[in-house]
Amino acid sequence: RLKPLNRLQVILQHLKMSKHTDSTTEVLLEKRGGAGIITLNRPKVLNALNLSMIRQIYPQIKAWEQDPETFLIIIKGTGGKAFCAGGDIRTIADAGKVGDRLTQDFFREEYTLNNAIGTCKKPYVALIDGITMGGGVGLSVHGHFRVATEKTLFAMPETAIGLFPDVGGGYFLPRLSGKIGYYLALTGFRLKGRDVQKAGIATHFVESEKLPALEEDLIALKSPSTESIADLLNSYHVKSKIDQEKEFVLDEQMEKINSLFSANNMEEIVKKLKQDGSAFAIKQLETINKMSPTSLKMALRQLREGASMSLQEVLTMEYRLSQACMRGHDFYEGVRAVLIDKDQSPRWKPAALEEVSDEFVDDCFKPLGNNDLKL
């Protein structure tokens, strides 16, 4: 028989192990003062969002929304490297290969959560410190306030893995100034630090080291309103000196971006880039040539249509597109090339823009009847 101390050690060891496999530690939900705080807690995988996290965050947001003692919601990530680097794409690809329903459930519940954030009645503050891509953008961009830092790295890189800039990308991207959103969606271009705020994705810029103080100040606000939260964020924003003088990274290219990315279809954009022939245009051509032709056509139409839709209409459209990707070839090939074999040479099918027919693209946008996303 175990000595009492040993038995206690065994029990503690067991508790410790079960804690690591217990999904509740992947996201921490706590109430401090009048603030509900969501902490994404998978630092080893850059806080990638999985279904069990979505299933914990969604009901909590809904509960806080109804709670008269909760005045604001704060979301952040642990580990210092990422807010959230995206959805747990590899698991979804594995599920799709064996026909598992995760390919439906994940996107349905993720987009439902994106909508809950976009319609949240309580002020919602996302501290997007570090890598914020794909699914991480969906957890932040639809809220009232997004605070970027010098460590923020924003991108929607989905066309490189046979997907499209989802999580409401069809809503917020075409609403950025000029054609920046189209440029970001098609090329996966990465914005860093203050540029995330200058592009209109973040609402404020605060030094990373000031975030703990900002969080304490937010929690300490007495029954805050959207206005008082905005005032507090502004007071931090104006004091942030990092890169204050630097001009927006795309400033010099804006005219080109606005004209080159305003075409009605991908072939036209490619033609304009070739005709332009500048170093910038050639670089964009090289990037676009690496992307899934199917994804490019899907994404361009997604943004063009999304520009005049409500967030709910966009998410319903994007759910249809997500299921088209799950039925197709390029998503699985993109995940293989980028995340599994890491050879970075996906073999897309079809391999050229001209081979992706309008009929095929139309098909991706068709309603799914009873399987449609209902918001």
Q: Would you say how long the chain is, in residues?
A: 375
pLDDT tens digits, the chain, 375 residues: what are they?
555 556 666 565 555 544 444 555 999 999 999 999 999 999 999 999 999 999 999 999 999 999 999 999 999 999 999 999 999 999 999 999 999 999 999 999 999 999 999 999 999 999 999 999 999 999 999 999 999 999 999 999 999 999 999 999 999 999 999 999 999 999 999 999 999 999 999 999 999 999 999 999 999 999 899 999 999 999 999 999 999 889 999 999 999 999 999 999 999 999 999 999 999 999 999 999 999 999 999 999 999 999 999 999 999 999 999 999 999 999 999 999 999 999 999 999 999 999 999 999 999 999 999 999 999
Residues with a catalytic annotation lie at: 87, 135, 158, 166
Bond into 350 cis (ω within 30): yes
pTM of the prediction?
0.93
Give the integer Cα–Cα distance in Å for 39 and 83.
9
Whole-Å CA distances, 117 to 143, 190, 224, 311, 341: 6, 24, 18, 11, 35
Q: What domains can you pick out in the chain, each with its CATH number?
A: 27-371 (3.90.226.10)
Residue 135 belongs to what H/E stretch?
Answer: helix 135-138
